[in-house]
Amino acid sequence: FKNKKSMNKLFLFLILSLAVLSVSAQEKKDKVKKENRLSAYGEVTAYDFEQYNYTLDINYRITDRVSLSSWNTITSGRTVEQGFNYSVVSGLLNFKSKNLDNTLSIGYSRIEQYSFNFINKQFVMKLRVKLL
């Protein structure tokens, strides 16, 4: 974000969206079973057993078509040619289509490159489309 005001506006938008969605979650047609609203996955990827990616993927379903998600990864063992180690943190509000095949996600991402003291904060909009 260019300035703190735009970041505050995004957070305010997300909070208001969550409030509206929480109220709409009361409707019977979009009601989600109380169990299994939260899912979390961890992943470790090894490259030649010298470099590693550690990923945590968390999702919280508000309704069958709306969810919050957080995707976080951190690396270790990367060389100077690869840009050394970095981390990526993102938080998204996800909206699925009526047929549940496609998803529009909006949110915030932060990329930090440790060795170069580089931080990139940005607004994210992602469209996931089912191909097959």
Cα 48 from chain centroid?
Answer: 28
Give the span between the Cα atoms of 92 and 67, in whole angstroms: 8
Question: Does pTM top 0.75 for this prediction?
Answer: no
pLDDT digits (tens, 9 = 90+) for 75-100: 998 888 888 889 999 999 999 999 98
Query: Percent of the chain beyond pLDDT 90?
Result: 45
Is 73 in contact with 57 (CB distance < 8 Å)?
Answer: no
What are the average pLDDT values for consecutive 10-residue runs of the chain, which has 132 residues?
Answer: 55 58 51 71 89 92 93 88 88 92 93 86 93 90
Is 91 in contact with 72 (CB distance < 8 Å)?
Answer: no
In DSSP terms, 118 is beta-bridged to 113
Catalogue the E-assigned strands of the chain.
Answer: 38-47, 51-61, 66-76, 86-96, 103-113, 118-128
